[in-house]
Amino acid sequence: MSDPILIVSIAAVFLLAGFVKGTIGLGLPTVAMGLLATRMPPAHALAIVIVPAIVTNIWQTFVGPYLRDIVRRLWPLMIATMIGIWLGAGLMTGPYARYGTVVLGGLLVIYAIIGLSKVRFSVPRRNEKWVGGIVGLITGIISAATGVQVIPSMPFMQAIGMEKDELVQALGVFFTTATVALAFNLTSAGLLNATVAIPGLVAMVAAFSGMYLGQLLRSRMDADTFRRWFLIAMLLLGIYLAGDMLAKIYA
């Protein structure tokens, strides 16, 4: 992966993905996976995304006072997600790997529609552990196939009534756990190796630069307006990814 044009493309993708995360607090893996999937298979894209995602999410994990309460409430979600990722090992690299791009496109569409419609679910406190286990298992299998962990985990975390700051920290904790589990899948498949070192380093620098710019914008721009346009862009990207790959499969 030493092609200069590809390296520049990776830098641009992560600058944008970091910018989105800096502005609205999430979206780096989702944006990066969606855009990189237009240039390479999802498994190769995830190998580049994995380290910047882990580092930025670890930072997000420890910014806030809610870590103990988050772990106490979300441990079934996180453990089940790791199990799902382990069970789904091979989905991104096996004979059905090309369908991962279709699934990724579909997930981006679902993610965008849920965000734009502002649908809100509610899970009673007494049910959140067993529901979280089911949600985690589904999220893990989907994540193993696509590298994206936002569906259905994010609607679940919103449904259990976390406050804004606690939710942001919870996303950091959860995404760190899921991304580390994915790293083991990639290592077992031989994809997380020295060939992604340079692209990964470029991606990390670009991601942190984008986050810094996004945080500057956050103080000057209405975050809800930015989020709406971001979701519209994800909707269009998802339609393109799924439609383009389906056309290639059935051509």
Domain residue spans of the chain: 4-249
Asked if 136 and 76 touch (Cβ cutoff 8 Å), the reply is: yes
Residue 170 has a pLDDT of 87
Residue 251 has a pLDDT of 65
Residue 249 has a pLDDT of 78
N- to C-terminal Cα separation, the chain: 29
Which among 105, 108, 94 has a CA at the least distance from the CA of 43?
A: 94
Q: Which residue stretches of the chain have pLDDT < 50? A: none
Omega of the bond leading into 152 within 30 degrees of 0 (cis): yes
Compute the distance between CA of residue 245 and CA of residue 242 in angstroms, rounded to an integer.
5
Residue 244 has a pLDDT of 80
Compute the distance between CA of residue 217 and CA of residue 43 in angstroms, rounded to an integer.
32
Residue 219 has a pLDDT of 67
Could you give the dihedral angle defined by the CA atoms of residues 106, 107, 112 and 118, in that order, rounded to the nearest 10 degrees?
Answer: 120
